Amino acid sequence: VYIAFYSIGMGPIPWVIMFEIFPLNIKGPGGSLVTLVNWIGSWAISYSFILLMTWSSCGRTLEEVQASVS
């Protein structure tokens, strides 16, 4: 689900912006930089999501978490 929404949302934006702002002579290095920043950002978002999910459960089972929410 995350990959699907990311692919139609924020995923392609760096490449669209890259083609608009970089001149032709630095599109190669600029593309490398955009790719690096995009991958690091994706990793940080994924890692923080996993970290928050494990932190919110605190060793409880799914049923215990669901009971505390509702």
Structural domain count of the chain: 1
Is this structure's pTM higher than 0.85?
no
Q: Looking at the domain assignment, is residue 42 inside a domain?
A: yes
Evaluate whether residue 49 is within a structural domain: yes
Structure letter (DSSP) for residue 10? T
Asked if 14 contacts 38 with a C-beta cutoff of 8 angstroms, the reply is: yes
In a domain, 29, yes or no: no
2, part of any domain? yes
The whole-angstrom separation of Cα 18 and Cα 27 is 8
Q: Is residue 62 part of a domain?
A: yes
Is 63 part of any domain? yes
Structure confidence by residue, pLDDT tens digits, 24-59? 898 889 888 888 988 898 888 888 887 877 776 677
Torsions phi, psi of 9, nearest 5? -110, -100
Give the pLDDT band of residue 61 (cuts 50, 70, 90).
confident
Q: Which two tokens stand for residue 12?
A: 């392609």
Q: Is residue 15 part of a domain?
A: yes
Question: Can you give the residue range of the structural domain that contains 53?
Answer: 1-20+34-68
